[in-house]
Amino acid sequence: MHLLEAENYKNGLVLRLLCTSFTIKMEGIDTNNLWGDVCENLKLSVSGAIFSTWFTQTHIVSLKKNDKRHFIEIGCPTLYSKATLETRYFGIVQDTLSSFLKTPVDLIFTVKQQNSNGKNLQPVTPLFENSKDHGEDLNRAISQSKLRMTYTFQNFAVSSSNQMAWAAAEAVSKNPGSAYNPLFIWGGVGIGKTHLMSAVGHSVLEKNRNAKVYFCTGEDFTNDIVEGIRNKTTQDFRNKYRKLNLLLIDDIQFIAGKVSVQEEFFHTFNALVYSGSQIILTSDQPPSEIKRLEERLKSRFEAGLIVDIGPPDFELRCAIVGIKAKQKGLTIPSNLIHMIAGNIDTPRKIEGFLIKLLSELTIKKSELNEMLIENLVGKGDDSSPIRIKASANDVVTAVMKYYSLGKKQLMGESRVKRLAQPRQLLMYILRTQLSLPYEEVGRLIGGRDHTTVMHAVDKITQMASNNVQIREDILGIKKLI
């Protein structure tokens, strides 16, 4: 009989079974030492903030054995922490205990506290729980600050393309208001600017639940000003923004060209900086290139640190796939992670692809394999690479530049791999991205037969599904156009 079914939790059968049916106690096991060892192991699997929030006040209430299974009751300080451990960390606790005891383990979480002597205290269950639970306080603070729950430093993958931005954000989180103020992060769409900025907010709130942190977009800031002017509540607006410890504004370029909004932001910026508060801004371009942004604002943005985030490389995309898949409860083999990372070029597209993959697995009950990944990648929606808009000559020039080849080498007859593969890639891009007829592609590349082009396109299509370098080459060429 399995003791962890949902109905058992609802009606308390588990606890009664533990108290009546399974009476064989393990001899020679010190539960305090066992739980201490388990907690040391858990520290390696979760962040320090998560561990201190949810695990530091837990303990083993009872440990019993029947046949080849252990039955363990874990005491939690509050109902809220019990519910969180059951829903979020049940599996990792169960697996860790099983590895230590070398047997299968069934768990139950109950609300029981320990006194200073390590003895269990019976829980008091009020009608409304009023305990100052740190985890509950943190979640409430994060929600009130408008931060995304999953946008933390622990969930942010770092590589050479974003290492500078990550280091700057981490420095700010350790010393807000002093390290770099303002911190201005810019880069393309969907590459992690918002995630990194929000991670600073999480870090500040983890250290001080009472810190005044607020995240908004440039559009939100504009709308608040408009509402303040319309309803004659501009003082409320100023009280909201000018008394913050940390202001996070995403897509600040949205305020450009709006005179009254820039005026109000200028004074808000000054008030926050002068009071020692931290400001972090993101944009799709550096301050100097934002059109219709007032010079006085540009100068203030440039007075802090400006860092950019580049497109993620293959290794970083693999890490992002792994992190986001884990968040969604997906276990994806490394070869399929490589296939996804080789075909999808931004974190945001990876997120969308994994959502689509999860629906295929849960709703349609599809099997997770290379064919499924290949089919989903090839559907031509938002998760697949965007088609380029260029002339045939532009593509030829890009391929020559990417491989450092001359035109005669690229168009020649040599079948040496270093020349033949770029030539086949050129045929592939001309056919798939510009939709040129096979005959036209052959004519452009040295007057070749259309069957030669068909062979090249088929070969690169197959290689692109499982060859990381080919995918990287295709993306690199498209970025040059």
CB contact set of 286 (below 8 Å; sequence gap of 6+):
184, 186, 306, 308
Under a CB-based contact definition with an 8 Å cutoff, are residues 273 and 181 in contact?
Answer: yes
CA distance 143 to 334: 34
Contacts of 455 (CB under 8 A, 6+ apart): none
The answer to whether the beta carbons of residues 377 and 344 sit under 8 Å apart is yes
* Whether the Cβ atoms of residue 54 and residue 84 lie closer than 8 Å to each other: yes
18, 73 Cβ separation under 8 angstroms: yes
Query: What's the burial of 391, exposed, middle or buried (CB within 10 Å: 0-12/13-18/19+)?
Result: exposed
Query: Would the annotation count 194 as a binding residue?
Result: yes
E-assigned strand segments in 275-348: 278-283, 305-309
Is 23 known as a binding-site position? no
Q: Residue 254: which H helix or E strand, with range?
A: none
Q: Is 401 annotated as a binding residue?
A: no
The answer on whether 212 is annotated among ligand-binding residues is no
Which residue pairs from 207-212 have beta carbons closer than 8 angstroms and sit at least 24 positions apart in sequence? 209/134, 209/137, 209/138, 209/141, 210/141, 211/141, 211/245, 211/246, 212/243, 212/244, 212/245, 212/246
3-state secondary structure of 20: helix
> Strand 105-111 to strand 213-217: parallel, antiparallel, or no bridges (unpaired)?
unpaired
Binding site listing: 190, 192-194
Q: Which residues participate in the annotated binding site for ATP?
A: 190, 192-194
